[in-house]
Structure formats: C-alpha cells, structure tokens
Amino acid sequence: MITVGIVGGTGYTGVELLRLLAQHPEVRIASITSRADAGSEVAQMFPNLRGRLRLKFEDPAKANLRACDLVFFATPNGVAMAQAPALLDAGVRVIDLAADYRITNVAEWSRWYGIEHASPAWVAKAVYGLPELNRAAIRNARLVANPGCYPTAVQLGFMPLLEAGLVEPDHLVADAKSGVSGAGRKAEVPALFAEAADNFKAYAVPGHRHLPEIRQGLSQMAGNPVGLTFVPHLTPLIRGIHATLYARIKSAADFQALFEERYRNEPFVDVLPSGSHPDTRSVRAANLCRLAVHRPQGGDVLVVLSVIDNLVKGAAGQAVQNLNIMFGLPETEGLQQLAVLP
C-alpha cells in the first residue's frame, strides 16, 4: 500500500482527492492537515465521505508527513514552495496541485504571482505533470507540478497540431469557460449564487496567471515560442471547463486521423467522431478530456473543442493519475469512475 498525506484537505481540490483516494485500492490515507479545522472529523465537513473515511484533520505542525510515501499539496499558491523541500529532503515524494513549481522561469513566476519564490532550486528538479506529454519523466520524479485546469484543457487540445507542425504557432487562440468551483472554496462576491447564476462573463482578459503556464507547455510542444491569446470566462456551472481553440492551418492533413492516432493509447483522452460537440456534463466527476476537431466551411482555421472536469482531470484526478505513474501502478487505478448524468 502507498501511504499518502494531504496538506490542505478542506478545499474543493482536497475533497476531490479524498473522494478518489478513498476508493483507490492501493492507497492508504494517513494524514489530512488543516490548521483551522484540526481535531474535527473529516466526514463532518464532507458528509459524502461518511462511512468511507474515519480521519480527523491534523495540525500541519504536528502531522507526521515524513512517514508518508507521497504527500499532496492541495493548498493556495505559495504554501508548497515553503513546506515541500523539507519533505523532499526526507525522501518523501510530492505532488503539488498549486502553481508553485509549474513555471520553470522563476522570475516570470514571481511577476505573475507577486511573491519571491521560496525554493527556486526545486523548480528545476520538478516535472510538469501532464502525463500525455511527460509520462516518462513523471515515472522517476520526486516532485511533480500538477497542471492547472485551463492549461490541461488547452494543451491537450493543441498538442497534436503543434507536435506535427501543422498550424501557425504565432496566432493561437484559446477561448475558455470554467465553472465557479475553479475559484476555490472561499467566500468571494463573484462566486456568490446571486452573482454567478444566470450570468456569463469574461475575466482577467489583460492576463490570467495560467497564461505563462499554457504558453510554456505549448512552446515545448512546438519546439519554439508560441503566440497565444487566452481569454477565460466564468459560467454558471459548478464543475467543468469548455475550451474552444483556434489555430490557422499551415499544412493540410487529415486532422481527425491525426488526433485519433495521437491519443489512441491515452486512457483519459477521448477523441470524438468527426462533427461532434462535446459537453461538460459528459466528463463531470470523471478523469477524462473529450476532444472534437472541426474545420468550419473547409477554411484555413481549425477549431478544437476540449472539455474536462476542472476538479478531476483538471486537478485531483490528474494528481492521482500521476501518483499511479510514479509508483508503477496501472494508470487507470482508482480512476475508472464514469461521468455523472444528468
């Protein structure tokens, strides 16, 4: 059994980790930390876990995380970079679900996140945890930077095109929509029911923190820097991301066949038949990205539709997928839940 700990188990990402790991046949959850809720029953806060998880939240300063094989950080940005190095030095493997180790350029990270990085030496050692791109490196990684939700949907949609060099890399457009759970489990006016329901709006148009992460990944795929316009939107959904991606065609190809071949052996990417329109509910609560490829009116712009559950393939599910890879388990272990309909 793999013994795991979770730092910061009270947010939406944390409870998704608990839901998935509680069903994982090869994992034992040893510790869940929360400074504010230390001593309280986990199932009292999250009644969906009642009868499946009999643990209490622990004070992070008292939890014996060094006894774990792996620790997940489901914490706000800035926490893992301060606490993970001590665990790593003690031989514990770490998966960070925040952004502390995703961007390889530390100075750029600081510009976007507004603080100085506390452990820049570990940034160079971290492996970006997008399995479809970095599976081989993830296997031996000590520190995995789990991708963000928007970056997962966007990168999986553009990946086959950039790897094959079939589209112009300078004018990529990602028009993406997310449910309100993407903002986290905190009280903020934009996420209030009366504000988000029956409403739709763009936000962070001048620049979203996920932009440098997406651009970094796409540039790796293309082998050169890319030009990307990324516009996120808030939708009146709890879960789900829908990314509509646009790329100008450079070389003609059978794009449907390209996507089908690229993802043929990927257990968590589903390329839909030509002409399909994936919807967010088809991936709700599942660790799955569904893609569809369109070439409207046979023109020179290709449109890729990409949908994921932002809390699963966009966060906790992908983290468990990375755990499976790191410990040599079948990649689908504990992640075969079907999407929830209706």
pLDDT digits (tens, 9 = 90+) for 124-160: 999 999 999 999 999 999 999 999 999 999 999 999 9
Residues 170, 287 share a domain? yes
Q: Which two tokens stand for residue 88?
A: 């790593």
Kindly name the residue from 2, 21, 87, 149 that is annotated as catalytic. 149
pLDDT of residue 190: 82
| 289 is a catalytic site residue | no
For residues 292 and 283, the answer to whether their CB atoms sit within 8 Å is no
pLDDT of residue 192: 85
Q: Which two tokens stand for residue 280?
A: 């967010």
pLDDT of residue 184: 82
User: Is 142 a member of any domain?
Assistant: no
First to last CA, the chain: 35
Question: What are the pLDDT digits (tens) for 190-217?
Answer: 888 888 899 999 999 999 999 999 999 9
Residues 281, 175 share a domain? yes
Instruction: DSSP for 92-125, please give it.
Output: -EEEE-SSTTT-S-HHHHHHHHSS--S-HHHHTT
Residues 271, 219 share a domain? yes
User: Is 160 a member of any domain?
Assistant: yes
| Residues of the chain falling short of pLDDT 50 | none
pLDDT of residue 183: 84
Residues 89, 209 share a domain? no
What DSSP state is assigned to residue 188?
-
Give the C-alpha distances (Å, rounded to integers) separating 192 from 196, 197, 268, 275, 284.
6, 8, 32, 36, 21
Q: What strands lie across the sheet with 289-294, from one edge to the other?
A: 201-202, 228-234, 172-178, 241-248, 301-308, 289-294, 269-271
User: Is 254 a member of any domain?
Assistant: yes
pLDDT of residue 189: 85
User: Is 323 a member of any domain?
Assistant: no
Residues 305, 164 share a domain? yes
Mean pLDDT of the chain: 96
User: Is 139 a member of any domain?
Assistant: no
Residues 173, 121 share a domain? no
Instruction: DSSP for 216-252, please give it.
Output: HHHHHHHTS---EEEEEEE-S-SS-EEEEEEEEBSS-
Sign, CA torsion 11/329/123/84: positive
Total number of domains constituting the chain:
2
What CATH number does residue 63 fall under? 3.40.50.720
What CATH number does residue 249 fall under? 3.30.360.10
Q: Is 73 helix (H, G, I), strand (E, B) or coil?
A: strand
- Whether the upstream peptide bond of residue 342 has omega within 30° of 0, thus cis, is yes
pLDDT of residue 323: 98
302's CB contacts (< 8 A; 6+ apart) are 161, 167, 246, 247, 248, 249, 255, 293, 294, 295
Range of the domain at 245: 149-310
Task: Confirm whether pTM is higher than 0.95.
Answer: yes
pLDDT of residue 16: 96
What region does 111 belong to: left with phi over 0, alpha with psi -120 to 50, or beta? alpha
Residues 169, 45 share a domain? no
